[in-house]
């Protein structure tokens, strides 16, 4: 592995998160889903919404697709019926029609700390199938947002440098680089 690829893997979240300047999108647990969608519409670059407890700590996240599905389920529930093929999916569908507040649709918190490497952050996003993570302080309060695209930018730069240096890990047409952090 070339030095630029190694350096990219070890870049900190703190150094990466400002590349795109995507601001956190934070809502209270009891926020109405219609208001959550309106907020997301005003800030479309943020793909994961942070849900806060009354103390300002992240207690959950909502991918924008999840909140959109809950709204769509109210208006055109038949559009989501195609995914109902067993008891578990039927229960999930019935809940999505009833979702009204952020706490109804939130997933467990998805966070990282400023000192973590972007390779570690990528693994968490990949494992959770999320497009972003919230950066939190020691108390669990959000200090920023890290988007998957910001991670990709760091790796694209490293691959370009490796390619320019004739190093390994660069991709040609149709090629694929090794998974970051892997």
- Per residue in 142-164, pLDDT tens? 999 999 888 888 878 878 887 88
Token pair in block for residue 10 = 């070890």
pLDDT for res 182: 39
Is 50 exceeded by the pLDDT of residue 111?
yes
CA 35 to chain centre: 20
Is 80 exceeded by the pLDDT of residue 177?
no
Q: How far apart are CA 70 and CA 49, in angstroms?
A: 14
12 burial class (0-12, 13-18, 19+ CB within 10 angstroms)? middle
Alpha helices in 43-136 (DSSP H): 64-75, 87-98, 102-105, 118-128
Is 90 exceeded by the pLDDT of residue 73?
no
8 Å CB contact between 24 and 133: no
Is 60 exceeded by the pLDDT of residue 40?
yes
pLDDT for res 80: 55
Choose between 154 and 106: higher pLDDT. 106
Choose between 29 and 179: higher pLDDT. 29
CATH of domain 3-164: 3.10.580.10
Domain ranges of the chain: 3-164
């Amino acid at each position: 592995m070339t030095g630029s690829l190694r350096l990219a893997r070890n870049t900190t979240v703190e150094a990466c998160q400002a590349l795109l300047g995507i601001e956190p999108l934070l809502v209270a647990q009891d926020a109405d889903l219609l208001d959550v969608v309106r907020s997301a519409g005003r800030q479309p670059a943020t793909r994961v919404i942070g849900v806060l407890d009354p103390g300002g700590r992240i207690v959950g996240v909502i991918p924008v697709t999840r909140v959109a599905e809950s709204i769509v389920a109210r208006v055109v529930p038949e559009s989501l019926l195609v995914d109902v093929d067993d008891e578990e999916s039927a229960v999930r569908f019935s809940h999505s029609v009833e979702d009204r507040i952020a706490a109804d649709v939130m997933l467990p918190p998805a966070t990282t700390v400023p000192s973590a490497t972007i390779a570690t952050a990528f693994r968490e996003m990949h494992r959770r199938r999320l497009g972003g993570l919230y950066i939190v302080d020691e108390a669990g309060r959000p200090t920023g947002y890290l988007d998957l695209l910001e991670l990709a930018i760091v790796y694209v730069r490293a691959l370009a440098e490796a390619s320019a240096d004739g190093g390994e890990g660069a991709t040609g047409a149709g090629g694929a680089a090794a998974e970051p952090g892997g």
